Amino acid sequence: MKDFNLIDKYFNNSLTPKEKLLFNELLQNDKEFKKEFLFENDLKKAISFNQREELKTKLQGFEHNIQKNSKVIRLSKKWLVAASIILLIGLGFFFIKSSFYPSSEKLYAQNFKPYRNIIQPIVRGESANTIEYLAFLAYENNNYHKAINLFNSIDSQDATYVSFYKAMCYLSLDKPSEAINLLLPITMLSNLEGNNKKLSEKADWYLALAYLKTDEKNRAISLFSTIANHPTKTCKKEESKILLEYLN
């Protein structure tokens, strides 16, 4: 039996990190789970639309009843009722949007996780004195300030992976602007091979998240759309499609 409770917890923003991993895995690999999620997502949008139409109908009903009496005192009540309904509509949309459409900040928090170290394997108990090893050791221990300082000291002709992991550090330290400055050039590189090619594809996703964090919605949407519709890249396609549902 599929754990459809994960879908409810997703919309309530209450998934644990472990549940989030399971949710993403099911969304990518389980057609039945994905179908149920899309149904729930569409249903919530329909609820929002129907409540708006219902409030409009109530407003029209109030206006019709009030128009039957032309006294000045009744006219004043008309505007009072109309203003109340308009306020109700506004408050309704606010609470509906807050419940069903998480803020950019929440969407970022739900989706950001520092990318794993694929450059320098860290063997526990092993001692190494290279700057690169120490940098990635600090990175894996979540010591991001130290990792940045060590990454800055690496003397390498190929700085793609250095810039990428420094960007991960800055995102983890809640400094998205610094991360954007590092990720943007990586997304523009071509003819990369091996791990650098992998990191370049990942950079699109993290750059889009960084734009989400800085509330640059149009830029985030543009990048998520590119990821979702790319003919060959598969990294984070489904996640990007889901985010676009909320952002568009």
Looking at the structure, tell me whether residues 78 and 118 fall in a common domain: no
Compute the CA torsion angle 155, 158, 164, 169 (nearest 10 deg): -10
- Residue 218 CA to residue 212 CA, distance in Å, equals 9
In a domain, 123, yes or no: yes
Looking at the structure, tell me whether residues 171 and 84 fall in a common domain: no
Q: SS3 of 183, please?
A: helix
DSSP annotation of 188 reads T
Looking at the structure, tell me whether residues 183 and 234 fall in a common domain: yes
Calculate mean pLDDT across residues 215-223: 92
175: confidence class by pLDDT, cuts 50, 70, 90: very high
pTM: 0.60
Calculate mean pLDDT across residues 214-242: 89
Residue 239 identity (one-letter amino acid): E
- Token pair recorded at residue 18: 């472990």
**Tens digit of pLDDT for each residue in 152-173?**
998 875 678 999 999 999 999 9
Least Cα distance to 40 among 76, 10, 2, 78 occurs for: 10
What is the tally of structural domains in the chain? 2
Looking at the structure, tell me whether residues 48 and 146 fall in a common domain: no
CATH number of the domain at 227, please.
1.25.40.10
Residue 142 identity (one-letter amino acid): N
Q: How far is CA 225 from CA 45, 174, 232, in A?
A: 20, 24, 14
Cβ pair 104, 212 in contact under 8 A: yes
Looking at the structure, tell me whether residues 75 and 152 fall in a common domain: no
Report the range out of 24-28, 98-102, 116-120, 174-178 with the highest average pLDDT: 174-178
Looking at the structure, tell me whether residues 86 and 154 fall in a common domain: no
Q: Which position has the higher pLDDT, 246 or 166?
A: 166
**Tens digit of pLDDT for each residue in 108-121?**
998 999 999 998 88
End-to-end CA distance of the chain: 33
Cβ pair 22, 9 in contact under 8 A: no
Looking at the structure, tell me whether residues 20 and 124 fall in a common domain: no
In a domain, 105, yes or no: no
- Token pair recorded at residue 218: 């149009």
Least Cα distance to 8 among 83, 99, 86, 84 occurs for: 99
- Residue 222 CA to residue 245 CA, distance in Å, equals 13
In a domain, 234, yes or no: yes
Looking at the structure, tell me whether residues 92 and 118 fall in a common domain: no
- Residue 101 CA to residue 98 CA, distance in Å, equals 6
Domain that holds residue 20: 5-100
The yes-or-no verdict on residue 74 having pLDDT over 50 is: no
In a domain, 87, yes or no: yes
Q: How far is CA 124 from CA 117, 121, 140, 159, in A?
A: 14, 10, 11, 26
Cβ pair 166, 183 in contact under 8 A: no
